[in-house]
Amino acid sequence: MACYCLTVSRLRLALGTGARRLHVSAAFSAKAKVAMSRFEPGSSINYEKMHENINIVRRRLNRPLTLSEKIVYGHLDDPAGQEIDRGRTYLRLRPDRVAMQDATAQMAMLQFISSGLPKVAVPSTIHCDHLIEAQIGGVQDLQKAKEVNQEVYNFLATAAAKYGVGFWKPGSGIIHQIILENYAYPGVMLIGTDSHTPNGGGLGAICIGVGGADAVDVMAGIPWELKCPKVIGVRLTGTLSGWTSPKDVILKVAGILTVKGGTGAIVEYHGPGVDSISCTGMATICNMGAEIGATTSVFPYNHRMRTYMEKTGRGEIASVADQFKDDLVPDKDCEYDQVIEINLSELKPHINGPFTPDLAHPVSEIGAIAKKSGWPLEVKVGLIGSCTNSSYEDMGRAASLAKQALDKGLKCKAQFTVTPGSEQIRATIERDGYAKILSDVGGIVLANACGPCIGQWDRRDVKKGEKNTIVTSFNRNFTARNDANPATHAFVTSPEIVTALALAGTLNFNPETDYLTAPNGEKFKLEPPTGEELPSRDFDPGQDTYQHPPAENSAVKVDVSPSSNRLQLLEPFDKWHGKDLEDMRILIKVKGKCTTDHISAAGPWLKFRGHLDNISNNLLIGAVNIENDAVNKVKNQLTGEYGGVPDVARHYKASGVNWVVVGDENYGEGSSREHAALEPRHLGGRAIIVKSFARIHETNLKKQGLLPLTFANPNDYDKIRPDDKISITGLKSFAPGKPLTAMIKHSDGSQESISLNHTFNETQIEWFKAGSALNRMKELQ
């Protein structure tokens, strides 16, 4: 067999060696701006190795394989010896690439610096997208962000240069859109320090969201562990048309599976309906798989992906992928752990929310449901864009509706914002007139960044506590997520439905049947949206925003000032003392949903993501205390006084008192932010005891030396009182599959014991004993 290891040198021969980042037309035109910034030294696209691994595993398992299994098992460190059992065993994998957004990259790079290693072992990139606050408009907001965050951007730029990491400057765009345009390709395994990394599944890639400590493992060249995922198949038939969009597929799936239905599984789309969805539409569907707790989501390689890669300068990769197409689609008769059937021809436009992304409603019914539920009908703001829905096609379909309204003299009744996903998208929609249409209808074009989607929104049209409704094309709508207002009812839908509702100014509008009224009194109905999948004139790359890691880095200095309030070098966590954990206090018994937003809020706290002690002042300030139904108000059991959660935690730590958190179902759902695990560890926490965990958060807790434990009997949650003391016993014989015991001491002198389950394997137990995965890494150097 010929070797299809597509290396940097071969790509240079194929594409040329310009000075700018790669933006090449399908015909590789002379005017195209070409560079090799995406492919750092040492990167390769080795389909042959993956093919060999797949064949080894197929012979061992003696059964057809799903696409997910092919790509995951194709990246096994030891395909011949690895124990493989879906949902049970831990796989040791060799991902191809790492990507980090600027909020999580700070802690990831601080941990990598602490490791003492001189350079990353796999191609890695940092993307500056989270720290830009939406306030006035793209240009002004970007300039302000550069000034406000200069210290952090300088740290990330110099750390990237020092350790061989590519650096995408502020204004480049959102990490997941940049990955789709530059790094994802069929069969690649990429891990990213953001929960929406699965966006890359739209290009047939296995892209998985992780915490920074996992990224450090991969950057250090250590095999990365992942519990062998189950595989949920979603079989698509029929064809998308009219008002129905790719977003409606995942909104429907979220309604079926709920926010934890995908936990521990990869969602694999297949069937004849796949070919009616654009490549970027597939990415939208995969992106929002994070909202159902899925490990990742993926689509099989097809002509849509090939065309997208050609349009984004990766035709050479597509040609090689064609040679290995059988490895990039599921085997015939492969078996899924669960199968969902969706007929795209029958699927109707959906809108999900408020307060949770799995509360699914058909758009045709949302007005009546809102009236019955007491949700505000008036749409105050419509927001399109984000990493989920900011493709050229998305913007074109929204613009087609805006143009119809403008032709009738109508503008948006609601405020309207537009967030381009990347500099390439911004430049292209500006060139092709979409940006002007969206602006003319009342839209404000924001910076190429996350902005309101992650709470980076200086919203001033309503007061905090004022009940109101917004509709977005984002992916997540937890309480106070977008604007820090717990009374904001946020709904998630497609960009075209957002645009229609912003024009109407009300939830009680079904664009398929209802009419708008022009200023002259004329009634008119919007025609279904239309939009080109890809620009006919190729993409405009816009401004050059990429910093390639230098060949010589000895002169590069990474500065972290000891007096900085935004950056702080890390000190190692303490090792386990070798004994059971006795008489720990309960910091808080959490009632109901507790996402990583509740544990470590974003918004204004993003500025402290590189300073562990400062950001720890937001620990669990959004969680509801079961004792009093209050947030950020818990009883200090040493003083008898009530205080903020972080304040009480600090007092316990200063007094030498260990503590635990008790929580409910799917604890830690949402973002991949490892600060939600670092903060409790930093402030003296030892264990988190809950009914169930979200995947990423459970792993993050293990990485930092905490004990994520689950009630063997979920009803035991009710036995624990906020003033109890808890001892965890059995740690001297801590072993995989062996439950631990919690002895509960009540304030009335009574005691009872309960059983606690865990998912630690041998390697992870060593992390606990060493005090953290990073400590263990140093022990092994």
Amino acid identity at 186: P
| CA–CA dist 187, 291 (Å, integer) | 23
For residue 239, give both structure tokens: 């064809």
Residue-wise burial string across 52-74, b where 16 or more C-beta atoms lie within 10 A, e elsewhere: ebbebbbeeeeeebbbbbbbbbb
At 604, is the pLDDT very low, low, confident or very high (cuts 50, 70, 90)? confident
Short-list 500, 493, 303, CA closest to 388: 493
Could you list the active site residues?
129-130, 194, 476, 671, 673
Q: Is 107 within 8 Å of 147 (Cβ atoms)?
A: no
Q: Is 619 within 8 Å of 597 (Cβ atoms)?
A: no
Three-state SS annotation for 168-220:
ECCCCECHHHHHHHHCCCCCCEEEECCCCHHHHHHHCCEEEECCHHHHHHHHC
Helix axes 315-323, 303-311, angle to 10 degrees: 150
Q: Which pLDDT does position 190 carry in this prediction?
A: 98
Task: Note the CATH architecture for domain 350-525.
Answer: 2-Layer Sandwich (3.30)
Residues 337-347: what's their mean pLDDT? 97
596: CB partners within 8 A, 6+ apart = 668, 669, 670, 671, 672, 673, 676, 697
| CA–CA dist 605, 173 (Å, integer) | 21
CATH number for the 581-780 domain, one of 1.10.1060.10, 3.20.19.10, 3.40.50.720, 3.40.50.700?
A: 3.20.19.10
For residue 154, give both structure tokens: 């300088």
First to last CA, the chain: 38
267 pLDDT above the threshold of 70: yes
176: CB partners within 8 A, 6+ apart = 192, 194, 196, 197, 199, 200, 283, 287, 387, 421
| CA–CA dist 212, 105 (Å, integer) | 7
At 259, is the pLDDT very low, low, confident or very high (cuts 50, 70, 90)? confident
Q: Which pLDDT does position 603 carry in this prediction?
A: 83
Tell me: the pLDDT tens digits for 5-15? 444 333 332 33
735 pLDDT above the threshold of 70: yes
Tell me: the pLDDT tens digits for 539-590? 999 999 999 999 999 999 998 999 999 999 999 999 999 999 999 999 999 9
| CA–CA dist 458, 199 (Å, integer) | 27
150: CB partners within 8 A, 6+ apart = none
Q: Which residues pair with 567 in a beta bridge?
A: 610
What is the distance, to the nearest Å, from the Cα of residue 413 to the centroid of all Cα atoms in its chain? Answer: 32
For residue 125, give both structure tokens: 């990139």
| CA–CA dist 145, 124 (Å, integer) | 24
Q: Which pLDDT does position 180 carry in this prediction?
A: 97
What stretches of 271-352 show up as alpha helix (H) in DSSP? 279-287, 303-311, 315-323
Residues 23-35: what's their mean pLDDT? 28
Tell me: the pLDDT tens digits for 351-386? 999 999 999 999 999 999 999 999 999 999 999 999
Q: Which pLDDT does position 36 carry in this prediction?
A: 32
| CA–CA dist 753, 510 (Å, integer) | 55
For residue 92, give both structure tokens: 């040791």
Amino acid identity at 374: G
This prediction's pTM: 0.90
728 pLDDT above the threshold of 90: yes
Same fold yes or no, 55-343 and 350-525: yes
Fold designation for 55-343:
Aconitase; domain 3 (3.30.499)
Domain ranges of the chain: 55-343, 350-525, 581-780
Q: Which pLDDT does position 11 carry in this prediction?
A: 37
Tell me: the pLDDT tens digits for 81-136? 999 999 999 999 999 999 999 999 999 999 999 988 999 999 999 999 999 999 99
143: CB partners within 8 A, 6+ apart = none
At 602, is the pLDDT very low, low, confident or very high (cuts 50, 70, 90)? confident
| CA–CA dist 156, 167 (Å, integer) | 8
At 44, is the pLDDT very low, low, confident or very high (cuts 50, 70, 90)? low
For residue 499, give both structure tokens: 């645009």
Tell me if the bond preceding 354 is cis, omega within 30° of 0: yes
Tell me: the pLDDT tens digits for 652-707? 999 999 999 999 999 999 888 899 999 999 999 999 999 999 989 999 999 999 99
Q: Which pLDDT does position 16 carry in this prediction?
A: 28
Q: Given the DSSP bridges, would you call strands 488-492 and 468-472 parallel, antiparallel or unpaired?
A: parallel
43 pLDDT above the threshold of 60: no
At 506, is the pLDDT very low, low, confident or very high (cuts 50, 70, 90)? very high
In terms of Cβ atoms closer than 10 Å to its own Cβ (0-12, 13-18, 19+), residue 251 is buried
Q: Which pLDDT does position 614 carry in this prediction?
A: 97
The secondary structure element, H or E, covering residue 583 is strand 581-589
Tell me: the pLDDT tens digits for 451-480? 999 999 999 999 999 999 999 999 999 999
